[in-house]
A = this chain, B = another copy of it.
């Protein structure tokens, strides 16, 4: 395990050393079967037991109620941009078969690149009208700007915007929290949340009120290639019956009911990424679960935001996100002065700290502090940032 860099990348991203060591053994021999994890049948008793354990690790740590299934699939968050629309439109069609597409609304909260892309996909697929509930960049929109439809097919938000570094606050009293109190009064809210880049990094507020929560694994819990969906049972609808009523047809691998009816084994899943996610979550459980990571991640983020503020005061750094709306997972900032960003990145690289360059669409610096980044690694970055301030302050 020598010569490992500190990987602050936004995803695929760092995984714990101990998990990589265990996975290397599993590649050759999975649970003493004499067959490696990438080679074993997804229908073998060993693998199905592993999947059921993976499900329960998530259920226990996030306190997922029995009203909700946990599903595993492929295709990432982008695949779910389509799947949530198709399944929720089918559900709405069965509930309200006579509405026209113009009368069927899909409510989107746009807080950055990913929610914008998700709304664009809903528009592409048709079958309903996209209503932008609220929109802002570099901050969470103020509560009074949210305009929900009265009975939409879905209400969509992205809890953490990986590219922009914007995240909803989990303090209900914060102006940057999600305005749950403004939602339409409905016992079965069609609330959909993209938790891709914060999944398992902290508790999920009002989880039970969500229809669907989805996440790609490649941020906090594993390699890319695995998507996790938490879905309330009333959203496991007969998409074929809905299609007969005029809903957009749903490819079979995207139909939540099909996935649920087969315990996520309708077709061959991505077994190796699932295995590694299981190892990561077993380790999390031993460390104290999501509560442990919530505290750790808050400390890590506080440290970086604090040195960022120092740098801002000295005219060295420029935070990109409004205070209170800043992400714990992805902290975005600029380095002021010509060539200063390249200099900052080169200095980090020479100290073994990698992948700090911001997303190609926005530039700047992005520090991703997913679960596998330790407090010590964060301290090394903070020390370097402080050093950079001192050296460059005039």
Which residues of A approach B to under 8 Å, CB–CB?
1, 3-5, 7, 9-15, 17, 20-21, 23-25, 27-29, 33-36, 38-44, 74-79, 81-83, 86, 121, 124-127, 216, 218, 222-226, 240, 243, 248-249, 251-254, 266-273, 276, 352, 354-355, 360
B35 touches A28 (CB 8 A): no
A270 close to B34 (CB less than 8 A): no
User: What residues of chain B lie closer than 8 Å to A222, measured between beta carbons?
Assistant: 38
Nearest opposing residue in chain B for A77, CB measure: B267
Please measure, in the bound complex, the distance between the C-alpha atom of A24 and the C-alpha atom of B243, giving whole angstroms: 46
Tell me which of B5, B23, B267 contacts A78 (CB under 8 A).
B267
Chain B residues whose CB sits within 8 angstroms of the CB of A81 once the complex forms: 252
Evaluate contact between A253 and B126: CB separation under 8 angstroms: no
Q: List 17 A-B contacts (CB under 8 A).
A: A1-B28, A12-B39, A15-B39, A21-B28, A23-B38, A24-B28, A38-B223, A74-B79, A74-B270, A224-B271, A224-B272, A225-B225, A225-B269, A225-B272, A225-B273, A251-B251, A270-B270
- Consensus secondary structure, chain A interface: loop
B39 touching A14, Cβ below 8 Å: yes
Q: Are A27 and B24 touching (Cβ within 8 A)?
A: yes
Residues of B within 8 A of A273 (CB): 38, 225, 270, 272-273
Q: With A24-B27, A79-B74 known to touch, is A34 a contact of B5 (CB < 8 Å)? A: yes
Contact B252–A82 (Cβ < 8 Å)? yes
CB–CB B27/A3 < 8 A: no
Chain B residues, CB < 8 A from A82:
251-253
- Minimum distance in angstroms from A38 CB to a CB of chain B: 4
- A271 & B4 in contact (Cβ 8 Å cutoff): no
Residue contact A225 to B271, C-beta cutoff 8 Å: yes
Contacts of A35 in B (CB 8 A): 4-5, 7, 9, 14, 354-355
Contact, CB under 8 Å: B39 / A268 = no
Q: Which residue of B lies closest to A274 (CB)?
A: B225
Residue of B nearest to A222 (CB): B38
In the complex, A360 Cα to B76 Cα: how many Å?
30
Given A41-B9, A225-B273, A271-B224, does the pair A75, B36 have CB atoms closer than 8 Å?
no
Distance between Cα atoms of A352 and B44 in the complex (Å):
16
> Contact between A38 and B12 (Cβ–Cβ < 8 Å)?
yes
User: A252 → chain B, closest Cβ, in Å?
Assistant: 6
Residues in B neighbouring A226, C-beta threshold 8 A: 225
How far is A223 from B226 in the complex, measured between Cα atoms in Å? 13
Most buried by B among A7, A13, A36: A36
With A4-B34, A251-B86, A272-B225 in contact, do A13 and B39 touch (Cβ < 8 Å)?
Answer: yes
Closest 9 CB pairs of A and B: A225-B270, A5-B34, A82-B251, A24-B24, A38-B223, A78-B267, A74-B74, A225-B225, A223-B272
Name the residue among A4, A41, A44 with the largest chain B CB count within 10 angstroms: A41
Closest Cβ neighbor of A1 among chain B residues: B28
Given contacts A1-B28, A14-B39, A225-B273, contact A251 B254 (CB under 8 A): yes
A76, B3: Cβ atoms closer than 8 Å: no
- Smallest CB-CB separation from A269: which chain B residue? B224
Contacts of A253 in B (CB 8 A): 75-76, 78-79, 82
